[in-house]
Chains A and B, each alone.
Chain A
Amino acid sequence: MGTRYFGERVQRSEDPRLLTGRGTYVDDVQPAAALHAAVLRSPHARARITRLDASRAAAMPGVALVLTHGDLPPVLKEPLPKLIPHPALIHHKTQYALAPGQVRHVGEPVAFVVATSRYLAEDALETIEVEYDLLPAVVDLEAAVQRGSPPVHEDMGTNVCAEYTQRVGDPDAAFDGAPHVFRERLRMDRGTAAPMETRGVVAIWDTKTRQLVVYDSTQAPIPIRNGLARLLGLPQSSVRVIAPDVGGGFGPKIMMFYPEEVLVSHAAMHLGRPVKWIEDRRENFVSMNQEREQIHDAEIAVDSDGRILAVRTRFLYDAGAYIPYGIIVPIVASTQLVGPYRIPNYECTFRAVFTNKVIVSPYRGAGRPHGCFVMERLIERVARELKIDRAEVRRRNFVQPDEFPYDTGLIFQDNAPLIYDSGDYPAVFEKALAMIGYADWPARKAAAAREGRTVGLGIGFYVEGTGIGPYEGCRVTVEPTGKVYAATSVGTQGQGHYTSFAQIVADALGVDVREVTITTGDSGAFNWGTGTFASRAAVVAGNAVALAAQAVRQKALVVAAKLLEARAEDLELAGGQVFVRGSPARSVALGDVATAANPLRGTIPQEWEGPGLEASRYFAPPRGTFAGGCHAAIVEIDRGTGALRIERYVVVHDCGKIINPMIVEGQIQGGVAQGIGNAFYEKLVYDDEGQLLTQTFMDYLLPTIAEVPRAEIGHVETPSPLNPLGVKGAGEAGVIPAPAVIASAIDDALGTRITEMPLSHSKLLDLLLDTAPAAAGGARAGGAEMGTGNRA
């Protein structure tokens, strides 16, 4: 394969369109005569619906349809599909399109109104009379597993829907015989992915052709298509699902089904008119899936040199009110916890627990930030207790470069053995330490202290399973114009697929990258696929793109050989031409080859595998490929106010061969921003009644450009042996270790032992006041020197 574009910082072809407001998001789809939907949502976390009267709404001018559970066809009255079953998931409870008489979280849909405008639809919602019999809400994760807790689902008699253990070696024996054992109770709280574009669905039903077209801000258009066809009683070929430009996915948009996806489609068919629903931000806070809440009781056994003998964690995983997505997140947390370290004995047990809160499903990181936080906290605890440098403890425990493939002994989320395919953790680590200046940090820290500044350096290392199966596909077509079109069904939420996939195709066919047009996320353009999640698009779809482009290349050579009366093996592709090596004048344009491959008379040879300069190929990896990296940061803390400023943030990252470093760096920078949010700003706060107190961006704090430093990014490339391109995923790399890094930095600055995330000004000040009583006076002296320069 040529290497003209692969590995280059090719400018993103989609950016001019997206940055000048010419993108097409679901809300930009405006069919004529569309009706607009609004959802009546439960104001209570747990209640029985004793009366529901929507007759006034139905009679209002402009209202076309009002749906409650009782109005739905039988199949839509049932719980929505179970996505990913698991033998350990005993109570696989899933959500309803509309609540059937009991609500289990604030925001759960109760009624659905379609009207001529969204304003009128919301006016109509206010006239729907619902009487609720309030039940005590299950909010606190630990209380939910106590005996006597009310059950979220009454037929269960417990809130634990799954309990699952994985064990490697003999952890009990290792702990019993270990010279040092350290325990930590560690927790991470809830957050939301907060995509810039909320969810949205537009459904258009053609009553004559009986074709349904659904625009959906989803990460998984093909599974949505297949599921909708089944639920609505249509052949898959009569349903087309298009994920147009999607303004951020981050995991929650790979749910199926959100009630609105089903309700909007059903309403459009029922009414014979296009129906549109755009989630508003307040709805997004109470109806888009959330994540992150876990409480770990973790322990580590080490020898006197800090070498890990065993690790064990028992943790609670908050599933929210239903668990459609199964236990992927806690499995990922359990298995990715081991990180880059050689852990001969390991045990993880989790309980997945229902609470009366919004449903939990994977959100960028999907358990990895938790695992990384737990492991890295344990490592730093060991360093502190044994008085060994924290970098040295890591060095002593890294899986070494000559140990790959390295079998952790665990089973990953794709049900395949969790085997690290390649990596060089020491190289990544030393590079990160060099970039952050670890060696002379003690001197710099002391100098800062002399200026009255409190600073800390944090480190975090992670391994990220990426690129899992089952498969993706791609069709590459050269048209007679010479322009190249490639279609894959994975959706795009900003990852730059239009550019990085085009780079792969352009290299294979010897054309300018601008001649390649990529289509993603349209079931009408490519019929098979799974979706964009788990850092898999570049690995799985990217290799399918490469295979299809190679197949087209081979066909171009065969067809051109006939046209040029040369041997295929003597031909080359470059500049949009096929030519005889050494005699560039003997050439034919790629477009002309495409024309010749689709003749009007005569026949086409069997070996062409069909007409046209076109091929479809699939790539199905046997198991995931494992990226990894090390982040390091320097923070400054204002002892008077608990303000935290991140001075520097370094990322050294290994995602195998890099298709486009600029795109990877953009992914990492965005992830770092989300990770910093998870560490210090973003927290969903529920009160004791299960009311979400953070339902606006005034209360749910996303970090901004003022809080997030520009990450300094270094690359290490250890190609994956598991796919032809040698690539690994990069989608979640930025977010995973950020909480661990910030905790590490704060500990270094203050001598604390951080055990929870996210933190805040208030929590940091509590630590300062409670752990160092002398700090209050010192704060004023130090603070005075800082003056008012603490805005950052």
Chain B
Amino acid sequence: MKSAPFGYLAPVSRQEVLAALRRYGSDAKLLAGGQSLVPLLAMRLARPAVLVDLNRVADLAYIKPWRGGLAIGAMTRQRAAEHDPRIRERLPLLHEAVRWVGHPQIRNRGTVGGSMAHADPAAELPAAASVLNAKFVLASARGERVVDAGGFFTGYLSTAIEPDEMLVEVRFPAMPAGAGWAFTEIARRHGDFALVGVAVILRGDADGRCTDARLAFTGVSHGPLRLTEVERSLMSRRVDAPAADDAGRLASSLLDPEGDIHATARYRRHVAGVLATRALLDAAGRMRGAS
């Protein structure tokens, strides 16, 4: 378990990173927190010609206000996001989601951008980004562009990031006032990649009837999966136990996950519904009538 030979660059500025990417393209691999890449290197499953280490690059780790929400620099450690009071206050769903990522030791190294760019189908942050309608800022020597969560996650371990681009920032719009939220997941062991997870945001009118529902699942598809049919089915309903039950059942019926050695397809399908029901009820409990 020693990596194959590779070149190593340790740029200190974005410009240097982008120049390296323009030069090496898909032969280069960006190293952020290393929680996925370093084991892949050690097992020789990843064999980049050049490793571009982002850990010395200035101005990639920050959390700053953005249009009432927050913009998070790609190299922000997950642990920093977890403990940031503004995230806790303005994006409580993200705060909850990040706490499910691995263990504190992993979150101390792992980055927000790294988790997004790696796009593991079981990962928490992509699902949170999906229901929060996050925007991804991609930079290259050609300039910057912004991609919505819906367009960013393109498939199994795949994103819209081009070979000469890097993810520099993730922008999270503020959660709607009075919105209810929940994030829950089930893993074989505490801290493992989830077998199934679900992120929920709910808004309601003064009568508690649903005006906006967003559900994203992890572990049941090639990436974070929004189930718009379930979301629509909740509209104008009070999210009580029968409604949440119906929504969970509907979610199960719509999913077609793959099984693996950790859980069968049947398990994931069934439990996705169970967790959706629970998360919806939790979110409904946190929801306040729209002001």
Answer whether residue B64 sits at the interface, using C-beta atoms and an 8 A cutoff: no
Can you report 20 A-B residue pairs in the complex whose CB atoms are below 8 A from each other?
A: A119-B2, A280-B1, A281-B1, A282-B43, A283-B1, A640-B278, A699-B262, A706-B189, A706-B190, A706-B191, A707-B190, A765-B267, A766-B266, A780-B273, A781-B245, A784-B278, A784-B281, A786-B278, A788-B282, A792-B190
| Contact in complex: B4, A123 (CB < 8 Å) | yes
Answer whether residue A24 sits at the interface, using C-beta atoms and an 8 A cutoff: no
Q: Shortest CB–CB separation between residue A640 and chain B, in angstroms?
A: 4
* A280 CB contacts on chain B under 8 angstroms: 1
| Contact in complex: B5, A696 (CB < 8 Å) | no
| Contact in complex: B241, A698 (CB < 8 Å) | no
| Contact in complex: B191, A704 (CB < 8 Å) | yes
**With the chains together, A698 CA to B266 CA distance in Å?**
21
| Contact in complex: A788, B182 (CB < 8 Å) | yes
- Closest-by-CB residue of B relative to A693 is B261
Sample of 17 more A-B contacts, CB < 8 Å, known A703-B189, A760-B262, A765-B266: A640-B274, A641-B275, A642-B271, A693-B261, A694-B261, A696-B39, A704-B191, A761-B186, A761-B267, A762-B195, A762-B267, A765-B271, A769-B270, A779-B274, A784-B278, A788-B278, A788-B282
Answer whether residue B193 sits at the interface, using C-beta atoms and an 8 A cutoff: yes
* A761 CB contacts on chain B under 8 angstroms: 186, 188, 195, 263, 267
* A698 CB contacts on chain B under 8 angstroms: 192-193
* A207 CB contacts on chain B under 8 angstroms: none
Q: A704-B191, A766-B264, A784-B244 are in contact. Are A118 and B2 (CB under 8 A)?
A: yes
* A781 CB contacts on chain B under 8 angstroms: 241, 245
* A642 CB contacts on chain B under 8 angstroms: 267, 271
**With the chains together, A706 CA to B3 CA distance in Å?**
32
* A6 CB contacts on chain B under 8 angstroms: none
Answer whether residue B218 sits at the interface, using C-beta atoms and an 8 A cutoff: no
Answer whether residue B130 sits at the interface, using C-beta atoms and an 8 A cutoff: no
176-206 of chain B: CB within 8 A of chain A: 182, 184, 186, 188-193, 195
Q: A119-B2, A704-B190 are in contact. Are A699 and B274 (CB under 8 A)?
A: no
- Other-chain residue from A281, A777, A787 in contact with B278 (beta carbon distance below 8 A): A787
Answer whether residue A67 sits at the interface, using C-beta atoms and an 8 A cutoff: no
For A280, A779, A788, the residue with the greatest tally of chain B CB atoms inside 10 Å of its CB is A788
| Contact in complex: B281, A641 (CB < 8 Å) | no
**With the chains together, A786 CA to B3 CA distance in Å?**
45
* A765 CB contacts on chain B under 8 angstroms: 266-267, 270-271
Answer whether residue B72 sits at the interface, using C-beta atoms and an 8 A cutoff: no
Contact with B along A96-139 (1 / 0, CB 8 A): 00000000000000000000001100110010000000000000
- Other-chain residue from A704, A776, A790 in contact with B270 (beta carbon distance below 8 A): A776
| Contact in complex: B278, A681 (CB < 8 Å) | no
Q: A123-B4, A762-B264 are in contact. Are A701 and B184 (CB under 8 A)?
A: no
| Contact in complex: A123, B190 (CB < 8 Å) | no
The 9 A-B pairs of least Cβ separation, nearest first, read: A706-B190, A640-B274, A280-B1, A788-B184, A762-B267, A762-B263, A119-B2, A685-B261, A641-B186
* B274 CB contacts on chain A under 8 angstroms: 640-641, 779-780, 783
**With the chains together, A769 CA to B274 CA distance in Å?**
13
213-260 of chain B: CB within 8 A of chain A: 241, 244-245, 248
| Contact in complex: A681, B188 (CB < 8 Å) | yes
Contact with B along A699-711 (1 / 0, CB 8 A): 1010110110000
160-184 of chain B: CB within 8 A of chain A: 182, 184
Answer whether residue A791 sits at the interface, using C-beta atoms and an 8 A cutoff: yes
**With the chains together, A696 CA to B262 CA distance in Å?**
13
**With the chains together, A769 CA to B269 CA distance in Å?**
13
**With the chains together, A707 CA to B262 CA distance in Å?**
16
Answer whether residue A525 sits at the interface, using C-beta atoms and an 8 A cutoff: no
* B182 CB contacts on chain A under 8 angstroms: 788
**With the chains together, A642 CA to B44 CA distance in Å?**
36
| Contact in complex: B248, A780 (CB < 8 Å) | yes
Answer whether residue B277 sits at the interface, using C-beta atoms and an 8 A cutoff: yes
- Closest-by-CB residue of B relative to A699 is B261
* A792 CB contacts on chain B under 8 angstroms: 190
Answer whether residue A64 sits at the interface, using C-beta atoms and an 8 A cutoff: no
| Chain A residues bordering chain B, tally (CB within 8 A) | 44
- Closest-by-CB residue of A relative to B259 is A762
Q: A694-B261, A698-B193, A706-B191 are in contact. Are A783 and B1 (CB under 8 A)?
A: no
**With the chains together, A704 CA to B271 CA distance in Å?**
23
Contact with B along A537-576 (1 / 0, CB 8 A): 0000000000000000000000000000000000000000
| Chain B residues bordering chain A, tally (CB within 8 A) | 38
**With the chains together, A528 CA to B45 CA distance in Å?**
46
Answer whether residue B139 sits at the interface, using C-beta atoms and an 8 A cutoff: no
| Contact in complex: A780, B191 (CB < 8 Å) | no
Answer whether residue B279 sits at the interface, using C-beta atoms and an 8 A cutoff: yes
**With the chains together, A290 CA to B191 CA distance in Å?**
26
| Contact in complex: A791, B190 (CB < 8 Å) | yes
**With the chains together, A603 CA to B263 CA distance in Å?**
77
| Contact in complex: A783, B190 (CB < 8 Å) | no
Contact with B along A760-779 (1 / 0, CB 8 A): 11100110010000001101
- Other-chain residue from B5, B188, B266 in contact with A123 (beta carbon distance below 8 A): B5
**With the chains together, A25 CA to B270 CA distance in Å?**
47
Answer whether residue A328 sits at the interface, using C-beta atoms and an 8 A cutoff: no
For A280, A760, A766, A792, the residue with the greatest tally of chain B CB atoms inside 10 Å of its CB is A760
Q: Shortest CB–CB separation between residue B49 and chain A, in angstroms?
A: 15
* B275 CB contacts on chain A under 8 angstroms: 640-641
* A641 CB contacts on chain B under 8 angstroms: 186, 271, 274-275
- Other-chain residue from A640, A701, A780 in contact with B188 (beta carbon distance below 8 A): A701
Answer whether residue A255 sits at the interface, using C-beta atoms and an 8 A cutoff: no
- Closest-by-CB residue of A relative to B271 is A641
* A788 CB contacts on chain B under 8 angstroms: 182, 184, 278-279, 282
* A776 CB contacts on chain B under 8 angstroms: 270
**With the chains together, A636 CA to B100 CA distance in Å?**
22
* B248 CB contacts on chain A under 8 angstroms: 780
Q: A693-B261, A788-B184 are in contact. Are A640 and B271 (CB under 8 A)?
A: yes
* B1 CB contacts on chain A under 8 angstroms: 280-283
Q: A641-B275, A761-B186, A783-B277 are in contact. Are A701 and B192 (CB under 8 A)?
A: yes
Q: Shortest CB–CB separation between residue B45 and chain A, in angstroms?
A: 11
- Closest-by-CB residue of A relative to B277 is A780
85-115 of chain B: CB within 8 A of chain A: none
Answer whether residue A178 sits at the interface, using C-beta atoms and an 8 A cutoff: no
* B245 CB contacts on chain A under 8 angstroms: 777, 780-781
| Contact in complex: A707, B189 (CB < 8 Å) | yes
Answer whether residue A88 sits at the interface, using C-beta atoms and an 8 A cutoff: no
Answer whether residue A722 sits at the interface, using C-beta atoms and an 8 A cutoff: no
Q: Shortest CB–CB separation between residue B186 and chain A, in angstroms?
A: 5
* A760 CB contacts on chain B under 8 angstroms: 188, 262-263
Contact with B along A620-642 (1 / 0, CB 8 A): 00000000000000000000111
* A411 CB contacts on chain B under 8 angstroms: none
**With the chains together, A787 CA to B275 CA distance in Å?**
9
